[in-house]
Amino acid sequence: MKITQALLDELTAAAKASPRLRMNFDLRNSTEDQSQRMLNAIEPGSPLPIHRHRSSSETVVCLRGRFVEDFYDDMGNLTESIELVPGGPNYLLNIPIGQWHTVRSLESGTVLLECKDGAYEPLGEEDVMESMDIRLASASDIPDIMTVLEAARGIMRSDGNLEQWANGYPSVDVIRHDIDSSFGYVLVEDGRIVGYFAFVPSPEPTYAEIFGGKWLDDETPYHVIHRIGSFPEVHGVFSAIMDFAFSHDRNIRIDTHRDNRIMQHNILKHGFSYCGIIYLQSGDERLAYQRILPHAQAK
């Protein structure tokens, strides 16, 4: 058969009409084939779980549009993001056997070709990485949230970050204000609160002036992520927060302490650009970052 532009258009239209925002087209001769070949039209915002294939590697080719393959380790930490686009620099990718991964469409109309060895087998529960639930925090969550934040403070101190979150910050009153304003969110895993963050709409008063640089965009409305905390034994929290944030706004800002090397690493790994220095109301400096997704990826 021929794979034509008309076929891709038809597949994209079906993906847009689907609640999952994706649609595949089987290229096998029959279900008895010992190989898997399909077209997959994926629209921005389509929710695909982190998963793996333990019996085959997977080859993906970008036929149209643009998408990113995100790789994760066994603990749910993002290890690499590879963008694919027709004509390169990357337009074909071979995903190793057993590699945890997921795909993010960056452009409406994206269609990829996927090929794997062996007959089709549905993914088992052990091959889909459990994701954390994120929900608005309530006043009854405050004791658990404060426990999480104290653990996060301990992570900072053990890494040599001795000044951030000092003098009782963030206090119960700060967290209560987050919750009363519908800014506070908790991450829940197996019924247990394991993380916290505030997701605050612009404008952020302390971002009005920036020194030693400039914002990527200082006119478009944005959201700010503040007060991220989690237990040290829980992995994938930052990635889960970023997925949540960019599913709600394409324009995200964040800042952190100069001594918070762990946070700086995570921020840069997730595609943020360093923009300069901002000062809190207390006068303390913070390193400021921004990331803006393409318009087509806004969800």
CATH at 41:
2.60.120.10
Question: Could you give the C-alpha distances from 254 to 124, 148, 245, in angstroms and in order?
Answer: 37, 20, 11
Q: Does residue 1 carry a pLDDT above 90?
A: no
Number of folded domains that form the chain: 2
Contact 92, 61 (CB under 8 A): yes
Residues with Cβ within 8 Å of residue 294, at least 6 apart in sequence: 106, 107, 250
Q: Which amino acid is at 107?
A: E
Phi and psi (nearest 5°) for 248? Answer: -110, -25
Nearest Cα to Cα of residue 99 among 60, 127, 130: 127
Do 272 and 168 belong to one domain? yes
Q: Is the same domain home to 82 and 197?
A: no
Answer with the residue of higher pLDDT: 151 or 33. 151
147 lies in the same domain as 102: no
Confidence of residue 71 (pLDDT cuts 50, 70, 90): very high
- What is the amino acid identity at position 246? F
Q: Residue 67 corresponds to which amino acid?
A: F
CA angle 294–71–250, rounded 5-degree value: 20
Neighbours of 196 (CB within 10 A): 27
| Contact by Cβ (8 Å): 60, 93 | yes
108's enclosing H/E stretch is none
**47 pLDDT more than 80:** no
Domain that holds residue 275: 133-297
238 and 265 part of one domain: yes
Is the four-CA dihedral 189, 138, 239, 83 of positive or negative sign?
positive
Per-residue pLDDT, 295: 63
Looking at the fold, whether 197 and 274 belong to one and the same domain comes out as yes
We report the CATH number of the domain holding residue 197 as 3.40.630.30
Considering the domain architecture, whether residues 107 and 150 belong to the same structural domain is answered as no
Q: Provide the residue type at 52 as one letter.
A: R
Copy the structure tokens of residue 165.
Answer: 């979150």
Q: Based on the domain organization, do 163 and 261 belong to the same domain?
A: yes
Enumerate residues 6+ apart whose C-beta is below 8 A from 7: 25, 39
Residue-wise pLDDT for 205-241, tens only, equals 999 999 999 999 999 999 999 999 999 888 889 988 9
Domain boundary among 127, 157, 192: 127
- Alpha carbons 255 and 154: distance in angstroms, whole number: 19
Which of 127, 161, 192 terminates a domain? The answer is 127
pLDDT at residue 16 in the model: 93
Say if residue 256's pLDDT is above 60: yes
What integer pLDDT is reported at residue 298 of this predicted model?
A: 44
Ramachandran angles phi, psi of 10, nearest 5°: -65, -40
Residue 52 sits in the same domain as residue 105: yes
- Is 147 exposed, middle or buried, given 0-12, 13-18 or 19+ CB atoms closer than 10 A? middle
The residue among 84, 106, 127 that closes a domain is: 127
Structure tokens at 282: 């207390």
Question: CA angle, corner 96, sides to 112 and 109, nearest 5?
Answer: 10
The DSSP bridge pattern shows strands 251-256 and 285-292 to be: antiparallel
Q: Looking at the chain, how many residues does it have?
A: 299
Lowest mean pLDDT across 25-39, 168-182, 220-234, 260-274: 25-39
The answer to whether residue 296 scores a pLDDT higher than 90 is no
pLDDT at residue 74 greater than cutoff 60? yes
In 159-281, which ranges are continuous DSSP H helix? Answer: 172-180, 237-248, 261-269
Can you tell me the distance from the alpha carbon of 20 to that of 202, in angstroms, rounded to the nearest whole number?
Answer: 30
Q: Residue 58: its pLDDT value, please?
A: 95
Residue 123, amino acid:
L
Asked if residue 59 and residue 26 are part of one domain, the reply reads yes
